[in-house]
């Protein structure tokens, strides 16, 4: 695959440059400013062992309604509202730090790594669907499908008991909060730079998908959405498909996240011992539920 990609880049340098710039713009203008501050502050909170204290007032809700520990609830909240791949990043970090169990980490991977409300309200609704009145319906369908996905895997795993306490791991203390902050900043920049590489690479791959010959060209917008969601949303919105079909396809592709976010998530889980296949199962169920919910309400909305 790599030699073929290099050959394509030599044959179509202008197209590759345009796709690379699109990926770079997405990373620099959206991913970097929205994720990096959360990554740094989360590393500080986890390193200072402050997450449990912050989440303690909400522990009853997390345990009884979601089957999560306070630390797991923190992962769920930030994964839900900060965007890909924050949920996977925090799940892996919490598991490595022995803040959550393997069972809870696997459970979180199925539903706690989502697109952010900012991405939904701006790119999906305004750019993809072109109708700001669909903001609340899209968010309702999207996050309802995420919660239902979590419930499906909670039932499958029988997670109706309260999560057991995880034995605390004795970790070397930071010499100072300044050292902890410095380490958190460097770690955040390392992770965000890796994500930029994945986004640019998959933007090029999505551009290749859009040049598929007939009869595959008919399916190219959907294949593009399964490869990289921003390119996919753009191409699906530009088709002549009925509004209900566009609505369902865009929301379902966003719920899945595309192969680009799968690769990013795999990067976040590297070295943790957690399986990317657990995440893939969750995303497949999530996309299916989101698509069914869209079919149920699309006729009333668009």
Q: What is the pLDDT of residues 69-81, one digit of tens each?
A: 999 999 998 888 8
Q: Which segment of 36-40, 110-114, 292-296 scores lowest on mean pLDDT?
A: 36-40
pLDDT score, position 169: 52
> Average pLDDT for residues 128-151, to the nearest whole number?
92
Other Cβ atoms closer than 10 A to 215: 7
Is 90 exceeded by the pLDDT of residue 152?
Answer: yes
Given a cut of 60, whether residue 256 has pLDDT beyond it is: yes
Work out the pLDDT band at 163, boundaries 50, 70, 90.
low
Q: What is the mean pLDDT of the chain?
A: 85
The share of the chain scoring above pLDDT 70, in percent, equals 91
Residues 227-248 have a mean pLDDT of 87
pLDDT band at 174 (very low <50, low <70, confident <90, very high): very low
pLDDT of 162 above 80: no
The two three-digit tokens of residue 113, written as one number? 């790594």
Please give the angle made by the CA atoms of 13, 232 and 270, to the nearest 5 degrees: 85
**214: confidence class by pLDDT, cuts 50, 70, 90:** low
For residue 165, the model assigns a pLDDT of: 52
pLDDT tens digits for range 22-58:
889 888 887 788 778 888 888 888 878 788 788 888 8
For position 248, what pLDDT does the model report? 92
User: How much is the pLDDT for 293?
Assistant: 94
Q: pLDDT tens-digit profile of 13-25? A: 898 999 899 889 8
The pLDDT of residue 209 is 81
Please check the confidence at residue 90 and state whether its pLDDT lies above 70. yes
Stretch 234-262: mean pLDDT: 90
State the pLDDT at residue 167: 53
């Amino acid at each position: 695959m790599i030699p073929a990609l290099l050959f394509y880049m030599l044959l179509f340098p202008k197209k590759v440059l345009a796709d690379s710039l699109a990926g770079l713009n997405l990373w620099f203008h959206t991913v970097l400013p929205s994720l990096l501050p959360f990554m740094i502050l989360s590393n500080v909170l986890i390193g200072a062992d402050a997450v449990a204290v912050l989440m303690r007032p909400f522990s009853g809700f997390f345990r009884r309604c979601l089957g999560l520990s306070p630390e797991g609830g923190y992962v769920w909240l930030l994964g839900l509202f900060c965007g890909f791949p924050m949920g996977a990043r925090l799940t892996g970090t919490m598991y490595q730090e022995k803040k959550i169990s393997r069972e809870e980490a696997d459970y979180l991977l199925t539903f706690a790594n989502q697109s952010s409300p900012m991405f939904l309200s701006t790119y999906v609704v305004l750019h993809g669907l072109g109708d700001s009145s669909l903001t609340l319906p899209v968010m309702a369908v999207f996050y309802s499908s995420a919660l239902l996905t979590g419930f499906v895997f909670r039932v499958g795993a029988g997670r109706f008991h309260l999560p057991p306490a995880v034995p605390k791991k004795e970790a070397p203390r930071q010499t100072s909060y300044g050292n902890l902050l410095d380490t958190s900043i460097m770690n955040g920049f390392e992770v965000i730079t890796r994500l930029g590489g994945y986004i640019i690479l998959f933007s090029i791959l999505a551009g290749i998908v859009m040049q598929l010959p007939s009869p595959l060209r008919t399916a190219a917008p959907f294949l593009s959405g399964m490869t990289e969601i921003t390119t996919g949303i753009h191409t699906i919105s530009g088709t002549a498909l009925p509004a209900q079909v566009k609505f369902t396809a865009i929301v379902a592709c966003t719920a899945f996240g595309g192969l680009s976010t799968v690769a990013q998530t795999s990067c976040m889980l590297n070295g943790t011992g957690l399986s990317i296949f657990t995440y893939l199962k969750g995303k497949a169920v999530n996309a299916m539920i989101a698509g069914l919910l869209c079919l149920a309400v699309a006729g009333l909305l668009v």
